[in-house]
Amino acid sequence: MRIIAIANQKGGVGKTTTTINLGAALAEQGKRVLLVDLDPQGNTSTGLGIPADARKNTSYDLLLGDSAPDPIAVGLGAGQLWLIPANTDLASADIELHAHEKRSFLLHDALRHMGPDAGDFDYILIDCPPSLNLLTVNAMVAAHAVLVPLQAEFYALEGLSQLMMTIREVRTKANPGLRIEGVVLTMADMRNRLSQQVEADVRQTLGDLVFQSVIPRNVRISEAPSYAQTILDYDPLSKGSQAYRALALEVLARHEGTR
Ligand code: ADP
Ligand code: MG
């Protein structure tokens, strides 16, 4: 089982989109995948068609409740892709966590004591909020690795040093084995010179950390959540589907030691 936190404190860079669609692409490869929505906005849950009133057992309960929630089967290839949704309860969790003795370790402990089904997951992807708050720290403490979506725009690298500092701090204090899974460029427009320049800069700065796969800006990707579908279900042959499939293969290859 491998736990990956999808994190970047900037909003709108593709965290939620990557959580859903990388998850779907790993599931398509036959992996059993659990998505944990750790953003109080609950976009992963909404994007997969779980209405707010159907979110009885949520990531809030996972962190602060008495018993672990049962994951919900999502996606067309149901049976492979599961979700622990979020609702607005999570908005107060950050404050409640501060009062808790094990404040940074609650998600770590919960995911490792999730009941008989938990051990069956090959991958757990955690969609983090756009902040370096205690929720994100919980995700990093729980995870084996952090995957960072980076929007291919002029200010792409700005804010990254802060994120890296947080990762270093989590390593020092709580999770020495935490790795950086990789950085994935999102919403790239390859016909655009600025996008090409940003990609070149990011690769020069971060080298091997950057996935070869680049997620293009693709309108089908942004439409899929309004149909409560992953891009692989909504438009399996789209450029967006192909890109997330390629990313999933890279993630798998990194873990199968072929890196
Ligand atoms: P975050 O979770 O980091 O805030 P999202 O994944 O919600 O970011 O993406 C922000 C917005 O950009 C959403 O409206 C989403 O549909 C859109 N989006 C994300 N990735 C793409 C893409 N590759 N092509 C087009 N639109 C995208
Ligand atoms: Mg999001």
Domains, the chain, with CATH or none: 2-252 (3.40.50.300)
How many angstroms is it from 138 CA to the middle of ligand 1?
23
Q: What is the pTM of this model?
A: 0.96
Closest Cα to atom 4, ligand 1: which residue?
Answer: 12
Burial class of 212 by CB neighbour count within 10 A (0 to 12, 13 to 18, 19+)? exposed
Instruction: Inform me whether the pLDDT recorded for 198 exceeds 80.
Output: yes
Band of residue 107 on the pLDDT scale cut at 50, 70, 90: very high
C-alpha 101 to ligand 2 mean position (Å)? 28
Kindly report the protein residue whose alpha carbon is nearest to atom 27 of ligand 1.
222
**CB-ligand 1 contact for 214 (6 Å cutoff):** no
- Nearest ligand atom owner, CA of 7: 1
pLDDT tens column, 122-164: 999 999 999 999 999 999 999 999 999 999 888 888 889 999 9
What is the 147 CA–ligand 2 centroid distance (Å)?
Answer: 14
pLDDT of amino acid 34: 95
Which of 8, 7, 5, 13 minimizes the C-alpha distance to 188?
13
Rounded to 5 degrees, what are φ and ψ at 253? -65, -40
If one residue of 222, 239, 244 were mutated to test the ligand 1 pocket, choosing by the most ligand atoms within 8 A of its CB, it would be 222
* Residue 223 pLDDT greater than 90, yes or no: yes
Quote the ligand 2 centre to 86 CA distance (angstroms).
11
Q: What is the pLDDT of residue 258?
A: 43
How far, rounded to the nearest angstrom, does the alpha carbon of residue 201 sit from its chain's CA centroid? 24
Atom 1 of ligand 1: nearest residue by CA position: 12
In short, whether 16's Cβ falls inside 6 Å of ligand 1 is: yes
Return left, alpha or beta for 127; rule: phi > 0 is left, psi -120 to 50 is alpha, else beta.
beta
